[in-house]
Each structure stands twice: as structure tokens, then as C-alpha cells.
Chain A
Amino acid sequence: MIRVEKLRKVYKVGGEKVVALDNVSVEIEKGEFCCIVGTSGSGKSTLLNMLAGLEKPTKGKVKINGQLVNKMTEKELAVFRQNNIGFIFQSYNLMPTMTAVENVAFPLMFKGVPQKIREKRARKILAEMGLGSRMNHKPREMSGGQQQRVGIARAFVSKPKVIFADEPTGNLDSATTEQVMKMLLDISQKNDITFVMVTHDPELAKMARRVITLKDGRVINDTRDGVSLLEEDEKIAESFEEETAGEQPEKQAEDEQPVQVPGEQEVSNGHSQAISQ
């Protein structure tokens, strides 16, 4: 479902290069519930953002459902997101002026679904999530847990193939966290949705069958039901063929970063590594 080959991301901060992600190759299967864990700054968010096409990698490939996400234009990405991807944010990111129903129905609006139909679907899913009494409440009239459930409903409403979530329980207390986590596992399983979630909490990650552990931008562990997949990942890396034609050169990708000072010095992220340019 999701295939990542030799993914690399370099940020440039004040003339220094930060390698946020290096040589990441994994494959996530359809319907799999996958947690990306690691300490803060290990590159979890960077990986997730690139999987979801929010950021372009410096090098490497991201394929979802056979489509090369990192090569898509903004326009193609928008349509791709409408039809394939749901996203759950750590800070919920609901539209402040809209009610719960309107928020959940929002992604369907972009697809051109008529108001009546999309709000009916939104109501149904909200009711299923136990928010029947909060349908017409604005975000600020709801608790964090309720808001995140609205956020989850919004991600599921268009029945996407993949849902990405960056620390979806990061702002919730432990009791709510467990509730929400169970809910996520449950719905994604029922709907056969591939779910990729970032968390810094290893305990939470244990609830998932698939766990990818990052450290300093590299995959240090990758297990499915406790069985290591590092060898398979190595094979994926080997299968990677660098496209010369049409490949975005590293230089250009790095130029997209805002600050630029000539004569920059390279700082690797924790361990020494050769950076080819």
C-alpha cells in the first residue's frame, strides 16, 4: 500500500544542514495499523509529512497505492488527497467557525458533495462516535477529547485508503488517550483502512501490530507482530533505482529551505555520515 524507498530529507538551518531523515526504506501493507515511534527530533513527523505528500523529500521515493506521491504537482496532490488520504492532527485543527457537523463534512465539500448528503454522512459518523449531542457545537465548546473525535470523524468521512495521524493523542490525558486509541484501531480495522500514526509513547505503540522505530532519522527497528522486518527493508532499499531523468536534484530541494548562507558547514544528526551531493 505504502512503499518508501531510500527516503532522505535534509533541512538547512542558518547555513547548517540538518539531516532529518536518511535512507529510510519501509513498506506498509493494506489495512495495516502502523505506529512510528522514536524520541523527540528523531524524524517521525518528517517521515509522516513526506508520506502524506505535505513535504517533498530531498531524495528517494514515496509510493501510495502505486502512485508516486513525491512527484505529484500541488494540483494532483489535492485530488489525490480528496480520494485517498485522511489526516488527523495533534492539535485537532478544526475550523473554529464551523460546527462539528460542518467540520466533519468539510472534506466532502472539496469533492463537490452536496450539502445535504455530506452533512447526513457527517451526522451518522459523529453519532457512531458518541458525539450525537455535540453535532452543532463549535470546537471551543467542546473538550479536547471531543474535538479530537470530531477530527477523527473528519479523517474517516470520505472513506480514504490511508489515514495519517501525527501524535493524535499528544494533547489528551491518559484516560482519553486510551479511548481514542481504541477507537482508531477499531474504525480502521472495520473499514480496512491503512493507518499510519506517529507517537513518542512506546506503550501506545504496543497496541499496534506494526511498529517502526526511528532514531536520528534512521529506522533502527521495524517489527510486525514482534517479528523484525529490517531484512525486507534492506531489500526495498536495494531495489531503489535512482531516476536520473526528472529526478529532483538534492541541491534544488535544499534550496527550498528559507535561510541560505554560502560556505555552509555540514552537521550530521548525531552520527557521522557521508552526504553525497
Chain B
Amino acid sequence: MGRQLKFKIFRFNPQNPESVPRMEVFSLDETDSMTLFIALNRIREEQDGSLQFEFCCRAGICGSCAMVINGRPGLACHTKTKDLPDEITLTPLPVFELVGDLSVDTGSWFREMYNKVESWVHTDKVFDPNAIEDPMDNAIAEEIYELDRCVECGSCVAACGTARLRDDFMGATALNRLGRFVIDPRDKRTDEQYFEVIGSDEGIFGCMGLLACEDVCPKNLPLMNQLSYLRRKMGVVALKQIFKK
């Protein structure tokens, strides 16, 4: 207790013709168990009501509040000031379109992502309200859930060298999403169909293996494992296609 914290925050409101991108400094006295959620709301309510940022669940569940915190992408609600130095620099996630200050448009980016990977179960089974469910091995259900835990926060994309160089790269989150359907027995897509989606430099072959994605993922998803699994699987499909020609 008793620390005076200095927040250096990126400010820019693209809707205001007079606004220019800049860093602004705010000071706050630190309180017990303070998180960036508490700190930013206090700044907005006590010092500058126009400060834009995104929070929703404030419990590390919904993925809304990712930003770059002292150089590293992460969930702001999940970050305690006590783990940070006296001076805290906050900037919006790169790659995503800026809405204003610390707020970016992750919704549009992720919608495009799941349209690209067709993030749904592909099947021609018609639901029968009178039938009992198809059984599934609990271990498989748990495996699917492990990959389903992504909260679409965008940290992995913001930290990714390839994504920052080329904006058509799908990113670890998209590949992880596809992987979730690859292991789901309800999805009837074949390896060849999956290859259509990710078998290119935009997808699995664009990854440079820098590991930053897994490092920043707040859900600790096994992103590197997932990438190399898909790369091996897709490599086999690629070979098959070369020999077919």
C-alpha cells in the first residue's frame, strides 16, 4: 500500500477530428488487491470520463480486455498492479482495428476467422427430438473442451510475428479452432477438406515457430503442440496431393 502509480496510456479518438495519437499520464494511489480493471475504471470515473477500454466479465472469462501491458499482451482484468512496477504503460492490441484509446475491434476479426475456418460441426445428420443423444467417450469430450477453451482475446495474434507482417495470416487461434473440429467425431470433414482451409502460407505453413503465441495465451492453450500436430497432418495431405498430380 501507499505506492503512487503512474499510468502512461495511449490516447486517440479517431472520431474526433482534433484528436491526435499520444501518450497521456495519470496518477493513482494503489489500494489493496488492485487490478487494472479497478485502476482504469477509477481513472475514467475520477479523472477522464472519455477514456475508452473494454471490460465485460472482469473475471478473466470473456476475453474482452486484452491490451499491451508494459510491452506484453494480456488480459487487463486479470492483472494485479502489485505485480507491476510503479510506472505502467498501456497500449491497444496491434493487428486489430482501433476503436479508440485502449479499445480495439476484435469482434470483426474473429467473425472473419470463424467464417474462414467454418467454425461449426459439418454433418448431414438431422436432429431428432425423440432420440437419445449419440454416445461419446468422455475422454474425447474433455480433449475437445481443452481446445474449446480459447476466449478469443487476441493476445496470441497480437504477439505473433507472422500476423504482424501479413494481415492474411490466420493466427494460432484459428488453427487451434480448426484443430478442435479435427478431433470432434461429429464433424464429418475429411483431411482434404481441412487442407483446403489451412494448407497454405495463410494457414499452417505461414507459422515461423516463434512460440510467442503460447507464451502469452491467458488460457495456457497448447498452441505449439496444436500447430505441429496440424502441420504434420497437413504435410501428409500435401504429399498425397503432389503424388496424385
Q: State yes or no: do A and B come from one complex.
A: no
Chain B residues in contact with chain A, CB under 8 A? none
A residues neighboring B (CB under 8 Å): none
